[in-house]
Structure 1
Amino acid sequence: MDERKRLEELRRQLTELDQEILRSIERRARIAHELAKLRTGTARFAPTADAAHVQALERAVTPPFPQRAVRPIFVAIDAASRAFEVAPRVAYLGAEGDYGWTAAHDHFGIGGEFVRADSPLAAIEEVARSRADFAVIPYESLKEGPIFPTIQAIGGADLKVVGERQLVQALDLVNRTGSLADVERVYSSPQDHVACVNYLELQHPRALVLDVRGPQAAWDLAAENEGSAAIVPRGFAGGQELRVARENVGDEGELRIRYAVLSRLPSPRSGHDATAILFSVHDRPGALHDILQHFKERSCNLRRVHSRPVPGEGWDYVFYVEVSGHTTDRALVAALEGVKRETKMLKIIGSFPLERPDPPHERA
C-alpha cells in the first residue's frame, strides 16, 4: 500500500472511531439523564464521573496515552452528557481565569452558567436566596487550615457542602520574550498584585505595576504591549503566546487550597464520601473525649479535627470535624445520634464525594 492510500485508510478508521465514540457519548448522556431523574431531594448536577470513577479510569490507561488527560476528558463528557438538564447557575470568586473560576470550571465543565461574586459571603447569599444553584468558594488552605468564618456562614445559611475541588495555587510572571530584562511594566489583578508585593519591589523596583480586572486582561495587555509582563495563575493560557519569565513569584510560594461546592440540597451518596460537622461542647472534663468516642465505637474514621474560639463567647470553642462516610451510612447515623446528645450545638455542614478518595486501609 502506497503512502497516499495508507493515509486515506487511517483517516477512514479515525472517522469510524469518532462516530463510535459519539454514539457512546450519546448513550452515556441518556443513562446520566435517567440517573438524574432518580436523585430526588438531592443536589442536581452531582457528577456521575466522580473521583473514584475517574481514578479507576486513570489506572486503566494504556501508555503512551497520558494519564493526566483522563480527568479533563471525562469532566467534559460528564458536563456534555447533561444536555437534557437546565444548566446550573454557579457563583464563583474572582475574575475570569482566576483560581475560583478554575475551580468552578473544573467541577462543572461546560455545563454551567458562571456568575462572579465579590466575596465568599456574597456567593453564599446568592445560593441561599436561590439566585444561584451552586457556589464554589475557598474552604481550607494547607497553611491555615479550615476557613472557620466561611464554614460558620455556610452553616448559618443552612447550605450544604456537596463537593470539593483542590488546587495548587502558584503565580508566574509571563511576557513575550521570557526574559526578565525586558520587563518595564507589569499587569496584574489587584489580588495577585497584593500576593506579589515583595517580589515586585525586590526584583522589579523600577517597573510600573498596573492593576487590571483579572488574569485574562493582564495577559492580553502583556501580549499587546512591548516591554510588558503579566502575573497570572500557573498554567493559565490566555490565547496569545507568552513565555514564562519567572515561575512562582508569589510572596508565599505555592499554596494548596481546597474549594467547597455549595448547594441548598444535600449530595447523594457516592460510596467515597466525607461528612463535615461543626459542634460545641459543654464545659466539663472529658467532654470532647466522650464525643469523639462515638466515632471510634462505630469505626468511623476522623479525617480532620480542628478547633477555633467562638467570637464574643469568652473561651468557648467550636470544633470542626470531617469523618469518612455519608450521613446516610448506618454507622455514621448512629455515631451522630450519640454526638448530638453530648453537644451544646451540632451542625452538619454536608456530605460530599472526595476528589481523592481515602485509600481502602484508611476508610472506615
Structure 2
Amino acid sequence: MENERLKNLRDRIDKIDREILKLLNERAKIAIEIATIKRAKGLSFYDPVREKNIIDKVLKINEGPFSDDVIKTLFREIVSATLALQESQKVAYLGPEGTFTHLAAIKYFGSFAQFEPQDSIKSIFESVEKGLSRFGVVPIENSNEGTVTYTLDMFMQYAVKISGEIIIPITLHLLSLTGQKEKIKKIYSHPHARAQCREWLSKNMLGIPVYDVASTAEAARQACVDEEIAAIASEFAAQIYGLKFVAKHIEDFKNNYTRFFIIGKSFPGKTGSDKTSIMFSLQDKPGALYNALKPFKDASINLTKIESRPAKMRKWEYIFFVDFIGHIEDEEVKKTLEKVKDYCIELVHLGSYPMFE
C-alpha cells in the first residue's frame, strides 16, 4: 500500500516536472522574441528594474513551503538563463575564481552570465569603461573593516556608473587539502580576512606564520597544491579548489557583511526603492561641507554614507562621496542636488540603482 502511494506521488512529480519544462521553454521562446524587438530598437537587453519587478511579483504570491529566499534564487537563475539566450552578459570581477567578489557576481547576475576574472579592481574599471565587459563587480565596504578606499579612488579616474549593489554575508573558514590541523605549517590569507580572524588565529594557530596574498581565492589556490598550507577562505572557494574544512566560521565577529557595487556604463530607472551615489569637491572655506549637506536635511533625504578621499591633484583638497535614499529622477532629489551644486566646485552623479533588500 505504501509502495503504491509512493509511486503515485512520484508519478505526480514527474507530470509536474514535464509541465515545468514545457513552461520554461515557452518562456524562453517569448524572451527570444523580445530580444529581436530590443535588438531592432537598440534597447538594452539587461534591465535590473524589470528583473526586480519579476521577483517582487512572485514573492508576493509565494505561499510556500519554499521560502522567499529560495524563490528569489530560483527565479534569478531563470532570468539569468533566459538573458543568456538573448545576449551574453560579460561580467568582470576581482579574481581568481572563488573570491567573495565572484560569489557576489553570481548571486547578482545568476550563474549563466559570462564571468571574467580580473587581477585588480583597476582592471575591472578599465574593462567596463572600454566596453570589454558589460558590467563589473567591485567591493565597496565591509561592515567590520570599513570602506574599500581604492574602489572610491577609481571613480575619480574612470567614467563608469553604479548600476546596482549587493550585500553578502562573509563567513571564513580554515581550509586545507587534508583537513588535518597537525599538518599545517603555514597559512595564506588576504589581509582583510586575516584581520577578521585575528583573535581566533592567536588562540588556535599560535606559532603558525600567516602570509598575505591578493585574495581569499588565491589563498585557496595555493593551499590546493600543498598539504602543509592552509587557507582562510570561503566555502565557495573550498568547493572550487577541492579543499576540506580544518575549522569552520573562524571570523571573530559573526555579523560580517561586504557591500559590492555593480558598475556599468549606465544606470537603471526608478523602482520606488532606490539609492543614489554622488561625489563632489568643495571650496576650501569655513562651513563648506555643512552648506553642501544641509539641503539634504532640509528635504528629509536620508544620507546612508559619507566618505572623503584626497583629490590627489592639490594638497589638502578632498573629494566627498555620498550615498542617499532616492533616485536621480525623483523631483525632490533633483531640486536638492541643484542646491548642493551651488556649494561645490564639481558634483558628479555616480549612479542611481535599486536598493539591496
Same fold (TM over 0.5): yes
CA 188–30 in structure 1, closer or farther in 2 if over 3 Å, else same: farther
Deviation at 1:127, TM superposition (A): 1.1
Within 5 Å, which residues of 2 pair with 1:158-237? 158-174=159-175, 180=181, 182-185=182-185, 188=188, 203-204=204-205, 214=218, 217=221, 220-221=224-225, 230-234=231-235, 236-237=237-238
CA distance in 2, matches of 1:249, 1:274: 33
Contact 2:172 2:193 in 1 (8 A): no
Deviation at 1:354, TM superposition (A): 1.3
Contact 1:174 1:230 in 2 (8 A): yes
Deviation at 1:233, TM superposition (A): 1.0
Contact 2:176 2:224 in 1 (8 A): no
Contact 1:26 1:81 in 2 (8 A): no
Q: CA RMSD in A?
A: 3.8
Amino acid at match of 1:302: L
| Segment of structure 1 superposing worse, 271-280 or 109-118 | 109-118
Tell me, yes or no, if structure 1 residue 46 matches structure 2 residue 50. no
What residue in structure 1 maps to residue 10 of structure 2?
A: 11
Report sequence identity in percent.
28
Tell me, yes or no, if structure 1 residue 351 matches structure 2 residue 346. no
With normalisation by structure 2, the TM-score equals: 0.80
CA 125–265 in structure 1, closer or farther in 2 if over 3 Å, else same: same
Deviation at 1:219, TM superposition (A): 6.8
CA 190–285 in structure 1, closer or farther in 2 if over 3 Å, else same: closer
Deviation at 1:327, TM superposition (A): 1.4
What residue in structure 2 maps to residue 359 of structure 1?
A: none
CA distance in 2, matches of 1:328, 1:242: 48
Amino acid at match of 2:277: A
Contact 2:189 2:210 in 1 (8 A): no
CA distance in 1, matches of 2:269, 2:45: 9
Counterpart secondary structure, 1:163: strand
Tell me, yes or no, if structure 1 residue 304 matches structure 2 residue 305. yes
Within 5 Å, which residues of 2 pair with 1:63-82? 64-82=65-83
Deviation at 1:22, TM superposition (A): 3.0
What residue in structure 1 maps to residue 105 of structure 2?
A: 104
Amino acid at match of 1:164: E
Structure 1: 5+ residue runs without aligned partners?
Answer: 357-364
Structure 2: 5+ residue runs without aligned partners?
Answer: none
CA distance in 1, matches of 2:204, 2:167: 30
Contact 1:326 1:351 in 2 (8 A): yes
What residue in structure 2 maps to residue 361 of structure 1?
A: none
CA distance in 1, matches of 2:6, 2:164: 46
CA 52–305 in structure 1, closer or farther in 2 if over 3 Å, else same: farther
CA 228–63 in structure 1, closer or farther in 2 if over 3 Å, else same: farther
CA distance in 2, matches of 1:17, 1:300: 48
Deviation at 1:10, TM superposition (A): 1.3
Within 5 Å, which residues of 2 pair with 1:87-126? 87-126=88-127
Counterpart secondary structure, 2:78: helix
Deviation at 1:262, TM superposition (A): 0.8
Deviation at 1:29, TM superposition (A): 4.3
Deviation at 1:246, TM superposition (A): 1.9
CA 129–177 in structure 1, closer or farther in 2 if over 3 Å, else same: closer
Deviation at 1:173, TM superposition (A): 1.5
CA distance in 1, matches of 2:186, 2:85: 45
Counterpart secondary structure, 2:85: coil
Tell me, yes or no, if structure 1 residue 257 matches structure 2 residue 258. yes
CA distance in 1, matches of 2:184, 2:276: 50
Deviation at 1:135, TM superposition (A): 1.0
Aligned residues: 351
Amino acid at match of 2:318: Y
Amino acid at match of 1:183: K
CA 92–66 in structure 1, closer or farther in 2 if over 3 Å, else same: same
* Per-residue Cα deviation, 1:245-295 (whole angstroms, up to 9, x for no partner): 323446888742211111112223322211100012223343333322333
